[in-house]
Amino acid sequence: MHPLGPLQLKLLAALRRHGGESNLESLAALAAGLIPELGVRPPIDHQPRRAVYVATARAVSVLRRRGLVHGRTIGTAKGRIAAT
């Protein structure tokens, strides 16, 4: 198994420190450097680029496959992610 990349390690550490659930929007804002920590509301006037969302979604999918986080989908677009 390959080691985790820097983004995956950053997201996993943030989820474990936060101790609760988060969503993809907050994780993407964290990855883009728009917020310092989970639990902080992302700024309304700044949005991460689409590439950051894609990279974050891929990083989370790797963490889910390895059993390090679990996620659940609410509706069609909203989901919650939490460290296991």
37-74 tens-digit pLDDT: 998 888 889 889 999 999 999 998 899 999 998 877 65
**pLDDT surpassing 80 at residue 26:** yes
Domain 6-83, CATH 3.20.20.70 — does that match? no
pTM exceeds cut of 0.95: no
E-strand stretches of 1-84: 69-74, 78-83
Query: What is the rounded distance in angstroms from the CA atom of residue 53 to the CA atom of residue 74?
Result: 18
Residue listed under structure tokens 């919650």? 80
* The two three-digit tokens of residue 12, written as one number: 């996993």
Percentage, residues of the chain above pLDDT 70: 89
